[in-house]
């Protein structure tokens, strides 16, 4: 597991091109608690609506949450659903210059009605689809192929998400794979639920699920070990070296040409919604491949990310921070320790998602001593996750004078992070931690020293949302100032 921490830390921020069928997912939430007097049907009282990225667009959104630079290629209709997708692309920072509009076809959309009964978790009670399955108009197809081919060379990987809605035509797939091969760019494909996979020939990776594999090969997969035969059949028939078969709760089977293959099991999950698990596997495998990880390194990360995805409702983003937290839950370790504010905000959300409380403290920590260590150990006992904010060098100079700090900010942060009781350390520029507290909203704010609780900076902010403020005990005669004063005295001879 610690190796997986290192792999997550080693993920790059590559440019990835996603091609496929673009879908708008609509969610209508409401209560379903009575029968209509007009007919023996449920009455659904809608109270909230939401739109999300679906299909290939959801893969792009998941990649953005994983901090990749994403370009999306596909087709929408010239309609409200297509414009809603365009708005989501802009909001999520997805490049979409290769998304074309076709007035002759509707934007594929799926509207899910999520009903609550007795204030329990919502459940999907109906899905309404609007779509066109015919192949693209030849003129639109030519335009899309041209737009994609212009983009291939500037991306580290190409992901294809085929939902059989007409975008991934044989002609398009052939030209994209040819161009990618000439430039050494991997093409990873999540195939459609179709019987003929010929159009995917010579791709780098094929990642069907159990049902899709059975349909394409005519071979049943009753137990995980059965996956090797159909995987080898696909690899040989399609001239694809690597096949990854997704086996739902039984994990994933990785087959590489000429090898026996390997099953990667997954741990049991409280499955809330399987929507998006396949998209997450494709997104993580693509990110790993673009980051130069091997397939053997990528599959455990994809397995883990997909497991987190099924615990969410609908297609919802999984962040690198959430993956670190999940690894931490499995091992009892918490990494990475040295973080930026952006990373810490993501971690904070992830920790709260698993009901862990944050304890926050701050200081200069110049010449780390037993007083610091003692108060940090006490602080760690007040919650689940101890976050320490260390004043930057410029901040210390403003607070302590031009002769301080004695030790630079990177080394001071590193020494604090070396303490076993500390989970995360970040450096901040302000003279006070007030802005950090506003953003992180820790459950507990701790200060070490002779302060009274009402003197602690940020007390009002933390208490305003229900947090608490604590002051730890002081070890008399121990401070950085005292240590420096002793160090500056001339040595006395005998």
Query: What positions carry a catalytic annotation?
Result: 279
Q: CB–CB of 337/386 below 8 Å?
A: no
H/E run at residue 424:
strand 424-428
In whole angstroms, give the CA distance from residue 190 to residue 159.
8
Q: Where are the beta strands (DSSP E) in 103-161?
A: 108-116, 123-130, 157-161
Residue 82 phi/psi, 5-degree rounding, is -65, -40
Collapsed DSSP state (helix, strand, coil) of residue 136: coil
Query: At a CB cut-off of 8 Å and minimum separation 6, what does 284 contact?
Result: 66, 298, 301, 302, 305, 306
Using alpha carbons, select from 467, 462, 477, 473 the residue that is nearest to residue 379: 473
Collapsed DSSP state (helix, strand, coil) of residue 374: helix
Take residue 78 and report the two structure tokens written for it. 């010239």
Q: Is 324 exposed, middle or buried (0-12, 13-18, 19+ CB in 10 A)?
A: buried
Q: Is the dihedral of CA 419, 338, 353, 9 positive or negative?
A: negative
In whole angstroms, give the CA distance from residue 426 to residue 340.
6
DSSP states of 271-286: -S--TTHHHHHHHHHH
Our measurement of the distance from residue 255's CA atom to the centroid of its chain's CA atoms, rounded to an integer in Å, reads 26
Q: Is the dihedral of CA 391, 395, 399, 401 positive or negative?
A: positive
Residue 255 phi/psi, 5-degree rounding, is -115, 125
DSSP 8-state symbol, 209: B
Query: Cβ–Cβ contacts within 10 Å for residue 134, how many?
Result: 9
């Amino acid at each position: 597991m610690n190796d997986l921490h290192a792999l997550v830390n080693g993920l790059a921020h590559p440019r990835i091109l996603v091609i496929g069928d673009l879908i708008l997912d609509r969610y209508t939430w409401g209560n379903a608690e009575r029968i209509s007097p007009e007919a023996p049907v449920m009455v659904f009282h809608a109270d909230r609506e939401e739109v999300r990225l679906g299909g290939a667009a959801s893969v792009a959104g998941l990649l953005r949450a994983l901090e990749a630079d994403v370009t999306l290629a596909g087709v929408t209709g010239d309609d409200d659903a297509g414009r809603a997708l365009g708005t989501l692309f802009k909001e999520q920072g997805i490049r979409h210059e290769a998304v074309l509009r076709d007035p002759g076809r509707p934007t594929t959309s799926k509207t899910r009605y999520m009903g609550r009964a007795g204030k329990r978790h919502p459940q999907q009670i109906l899905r309404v689809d609007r779509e066109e399955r015919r192949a693209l108009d030849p003129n639109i197809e030519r335009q899309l192929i041209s737009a994609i081919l212009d983009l291939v060379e500037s991306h580290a990987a190409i992901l294809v998400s085929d939902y059989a809605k007409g975008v991934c035509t044989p002609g398009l797939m052939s030209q994209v794979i040819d161009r990618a091969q000439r430039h050494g760019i991997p093409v990873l494909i999540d195939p459609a639920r179709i019987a003929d996979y010929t159009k995917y020939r010579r791709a780098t990776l094929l990642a069907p699920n159990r049902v899709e594999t059975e349909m394409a090969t005519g071979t049943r997969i009753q137990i995980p070990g059965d996956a090797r035969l159909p995987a080898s059949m696909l690899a040989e028939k399609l001239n694809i070296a690597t096949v990854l078969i997704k086996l739902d709760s039984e994990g994933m089977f990785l087959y590489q040409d000429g090898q026996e293959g390997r099953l990667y099991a997954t741990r049991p999950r409280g499955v809330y919604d399987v929507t998006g698990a396949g998209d997450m596997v494709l997104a993580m495998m693509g990110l790993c491949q673009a980051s130069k990880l091997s397939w053997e390194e990528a599959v455990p990360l994809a397995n883990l990310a997909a497991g987190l995805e099924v615990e969410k409702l609908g297609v919802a983003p999984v962040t690198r921070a959430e993956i670190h937290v999940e690894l931490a839950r499995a091992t009892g370790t918490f990494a990475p320790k040295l973080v930026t504010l952006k990373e810490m905000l993501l971690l904070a959300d992830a920790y709260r998602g698993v009901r862990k409380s944050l304890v926050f403290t701050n200081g200069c920590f110049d010449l780390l001593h037993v007083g610091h260590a003692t108060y940090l150990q006490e602080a760690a006992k007040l919650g689940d996750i101890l976050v320490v904010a260390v004043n930057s060098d410029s901040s210390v100079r403003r607070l302590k004078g031009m002769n301080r700090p004695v030790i630079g900010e990177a080394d001071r942060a590193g020494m604090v992070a070396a303490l076993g009781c500390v989970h995360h350390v970040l450096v901040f520029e302000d003279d006070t931690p007030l802005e950090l507290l506003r953003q992180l909203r820790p459950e507990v704010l701790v200060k070490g020293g002779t302060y009274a609780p009402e003197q602690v900076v940020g007390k009002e902010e933390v208490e305003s949302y229900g947090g608490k403020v604590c002051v730890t005990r002081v070890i008399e005669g121990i401070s950085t100032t005292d240590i420096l004063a002793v160090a500056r005295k001339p040595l006395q001879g005998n």
